[in-house]
Amino acid sequence: MKRNVFFALFVLFGAGACGKSDDSAFLSPQVGAHACTVDAQKQFVLDAMRDVYYWNELLPADVDINAFTTPEALLDHLISFQPLDDFSYIDLAASDARFFGEGEYEGYGFSSRLEGPDDLRLIMVFDSSPAAAAGFERGDRILMLNGRTIADIEANEGIGALFSLPSLDFTVQHSDSSEETIPLDQGLVTINPLPQWRIIELPGGTSIGYFELVTFVGTADAVFAEVFDAFKQANVTDVIIDLRYNGGGLVSTTELLGNYLGGAVAEDAVFSRTLFNANLSAFNRVALFQSLLESISLSRLVVITTERTASASELITNSMEPHVDVSVVGSVTRGKPVGQLGIPFCEKILRPTAFETVNADDQGGYFDGLPVDCPAQDDVSIPIGDDADPNLTTALFLLENGSCPTSTATANGLQKAAFQQKELRINRGGPAWRRLTGAW
């Protein structure tokens, strides 16, 4: 594919990190409409990958598009040549834009996690969703789906196959041990990207800013101004960001958050560098911190993470590291130092992994995840950000004492984390909301 014929690269990091998703720029057709036969779509995907794929030198010289029934099957084949890439995908353009612009998708409205082979728990329930209306809560255990046990489903088609159905009968065990079976239909879900924030006063009089960020989508931008204005008025210099289930989002939103956090202390310094392949090296980009009216004088940043923390969440953590005291609490992150471009075609959008990001010290490449400074267990029986939340109490202890608690994670907790990491990598597919928030 001739880039100078077919595409103009607009580095609209307002379009996203993963593309319009969690770490991306945006590619837009420059000439006419593309033929939308299946063969034309496959050829389009192959040409685009040869041009913009970050690891395009690994692609085979000869690819017979007739060997693949769909463009999605072809893409799966192409990315198989780079074991590090389980990020590239194709989605419907309309649903993609709706999620990244409005935080909306069609589904049940929750994220779940296997705590063990037959122990499926809800970890997040979105307020505006069918699941919330049905009374589902974090920590609820799903015992059966359509009368079948989780163990039976996992041994056969897998949980994802059932969660993709438009309606299900959920047999749920609540925190009080009561059980009920609830029929539920999929519907419109609106994710609040920043569901909670507050200022926490430590005994010595220090004010700590805390907020939970679920995903980096455009609807978070306006809330940041409110949050950081309150932090600034309270003379907050230490911040805890809860990114435990945040799989990424828009680069523009990530950079905006960076400006609120670091604009006052690192104005005009490098936030991050974005590096493309040799074909697109002219578009390599440097993002600088900008001071905003609500930027705070940040001194210390603590980021709460799990194995689901990825992409834009790792970008903000890594990019702040050279400029302020950054600590990670929880468990090792997912490991996604790369991002996608968004390439629309035939009412779809191709999001190939197309660039990597590094910080001001040129540090990146964290495919094994960002290391944790103070391990802490993510206990789903405790609400996120609760006074008894092990992650939050560990973060506060670290800020108050300058060290980790003597025991911040049990062996059982670490064992569960290892299981969850395996489960996450197996169930990594689906549209943007599933990849970035684990949402169904």
How much is the pLDDT for 200? 98
Domain(s) of CATH 2.30.42.10: residues in the chain: 104-190
Amino acid (1-letter code) at residue 426: I
User: Does residue 327 carry a pLDDT above 80?
Assistant: yes
Query: Which segments of the chain belong to CATH 3.90.226.10?
Result: 196-272+285-337+357-430
Q: What are the two backbone dihedrals, phi and then psi, of residue 117, each rounded to the nearest 5 degrees?
A: -55, -30
Is this prediction's pTM over 0.85?
Answer: yes
CA angle 77, 55, 357 (to 5 degrees): 125
As a whole number of Å, the CA-based R_g of the chain is 22
CATH tag, 196-272+285-337+357-430: 3.90.226.10
- The rounded distance, in Å, linking the Cα atoms of 240 and 299 is 11
> Would the pLDDT of 22 be above 50?
no
CATH number corresponding to 104-190: 2.30.42.10
336-380 pLDDT, tens per residue? Answer: 999 999 999 999 999 999 999 999 999 999 999 999 999 999 999
313-333 average pLDDT score: 98
State yes or no: pLDDT of 274 exceeds 50. Answer: yes
With cut-offs at 50, 70 and 90, classify the pLDDT of residue 35: confident
> Which tens digit of pLDDT belongs to each residue from 9-19?
433 333 334 43
Helix (H/G/I), strand (E/B), else coil: 390: helix
Contact in structure between 316 and 254 (CB atoms under 8 Å): yes
